[in-house]
Amino acid sequence: MDNFQQPQVNPGVPGYGYDQNQQVSPVITVKEWMLTMLILIIPIVNIIMMFVWAFGEGNPTKKNYFKASLIWGAIVLVIYAIIAVILIAAAASSSMY
């Protein structure tokens, strides 16, 4: 019995080092996700609401999801801008000849 060693606690892995006093965010219900998706269908409002949900007060899970969505949107926007600059430069150079 004295030879038994406790495994090391790894707080980065789910299930290890769980603290009973740790605050857990509430589960987002299906109804709330359905309402969220309905709002995201509306043009212009969807972009505004993504910023509100990402940086406002609310459920941490929802905040993280919309922060990640905005980051992906920014990445795609930069890629589109690079492609547009390349296409405009190619069109301008080909029209000179």
pLDDT in tens, 23-70: 777 889 999 999 999 999 999 999 999 999 999 999 999 999 999 999
Neighbour tally for 34: CB within 10 Å: 10
Query: Is the per-residue pLDDT at 13 higher than 70?
Result: no
- DSSP 8-state code for residue 18: -
Q: Are 17 and 11 in contact (CB under 8 A)?
A: yes
The structure's pTM equals: 0.70
Q: Are 86 and 50 in contact (CB under 8 A)?
A: no
